[in-house]
Amino acid sequence: MDPKEFQYVFAGLVAAWLILVIYAVSLGLRERRLRKELDRVRKMVEKR
Amino acid sequence: MREKILYGLGLVGMGLLAWNLYKIAFDLPHQANVAAYQIVYFHVPAAITAFTGFFVALVASGLYLATGALKYDAFAAGVTEVAVAFASVNLATGMIWARYAWGIWWAWDARLTSMLACWLIYAGYLILRRAIDEPTQRARLSAFLSIFGCVDVGFVYKSIEWFRTQHPAPVLSIRQGGGMGPGMESPIYWNWLAMLCIASLLVIVRMRQEDVSREIDSLRRMAHSY
């Protein structure tokens, strides 16, 4: 494949997977935040 | 059980993608060995995955309006969020394809503009959900917006038949396109299957988060009731 063609294919693949990876990472961070919040609220309920 | 489904979907999705990348790189007819084809092998499946998600969200929103059960609303929200991610992939790869094929990143033609409008409607759907605290009102307004968005999805799908502007006409044989040679269409459908596995995995993770959110809300209510 011509190097210029390869550049476009590479850019397309990187763009596609970067968006999905960023979304998956944001889901992971949200999951961690929710777990922490759940632990905090559970402790709060137990104290009462 | 849910964990096993998650790992299974992840393995099947990744395995299919690896196999497809090999097929696309080494096992296709010579004329498919150009950027114009190879970007399409990701651009089109991302669009079909996004549209599948928007359609599933439409059904879930309809079920919410019919039954009033908030589980359908939560499912519609999860599916829409994942579908927006795939619609973003479709737009980004489409712009790179346009730069390669037309020499420009963007053209305000019917397909591109309606797809951008579709993305904005569903991004608006996600913003709307963050803006409304009351669950029933949020679910009802979101359901109406999801139905409205799906009308645009139909328009996006048909736009390349109704308006012959910059975007290429249908190429897939299931749409009587015939623009791709024999044996060159299959990576599109295999990549769609792989993306569908990955999208399902993301939706399951997203639904698990909805369960945790609901548990936090109920614990908070319990704490305040003491």
In a domain, B105, yes or no: yes
Is it the case that residue B38 has pLDDT exceeding 90? no
Show the domain range for B43: 35-164+182-225
Amino acid at B25: A
Tokens of B13: 């999705």
Q: What integer pLDDT is reported at residue B32 of this predicted model?
A: 66
Q: What integer pLDDT is reported at residue B26 of this predicted model?
A: 81
In a domain, B95, yes or no: yes
| Cα angle B119-B141-B71, degrees, rounded to a multiple of 5 | 95
Read off the pLDDT of residues B40-96 as tens digits, 9 standing for 90 and up: 999 999 999 999 999 999 999 999 999 999 999 999 999 999 999 999 999 999 999
User: Among the listed ranges B69-83, B103-117, B209-223, which one has the minimum average pLDDT value?
Assistant: B209-223
Q: What integer pLDDT is reported at residue B182 of this predicted model?
A: 67
Q: What integer pLDDT is reported at residue B221 of this predicted model?
A: 83
In a domain, A2, yes or no: no
Residues in A closer than 8 angstroms to B219, CB to CB, are 38, 41-42, 44-45
In a domain, B26, yes or no: no
Chain B residues bordering chain A (beta-carbon distance below 8 Å): 33-35, 38-39, 42-43, 46, 82, 85-86, 88-89, 92-93, 96-97, 99-100, 198, 202, 205-206, 208-209, 212-213, 215-216, 219-220, 222-223, 226
Show the domain range for A45: 22-48
Residues in A closer than 8 angstroms to B212, CB to CB, are 31, 34-35, 38
Residue reference for tokens 């791709």: B180
In a domain, A32, yes or no: yes
- Asked whether this complex has an ipTM greater than 0.95, the answer is no
Is it the case that residue B186 has pLDDT exceeding 80? yes
Q: Cα–Cα distance between B196 and B53 in angstroms, integer?
A: 9
- Chain mean pLDDT for chain B: 89
For chain A, what is the domain count? 1
Is it the case that residue B106 has pLDDT exceeding 70? yes
Read off the pLDDT of residues B116-162 as tens digits, 9 standing for 90 and up: 999 999 999 999 999 998 889 999 999 999 999 999 999 999 999 89
For chain B, what is the domain count? 1
Residues in A closer than 8 angstroms to B93, CB to CB, are 12, 15-16
**Sequence-separated (6 or more) residues with CB below 8 Å from residue A21:** none
User: Quick one: pLDDT band at residue B177, thresholds 50, 70, 90?
Assistant: low
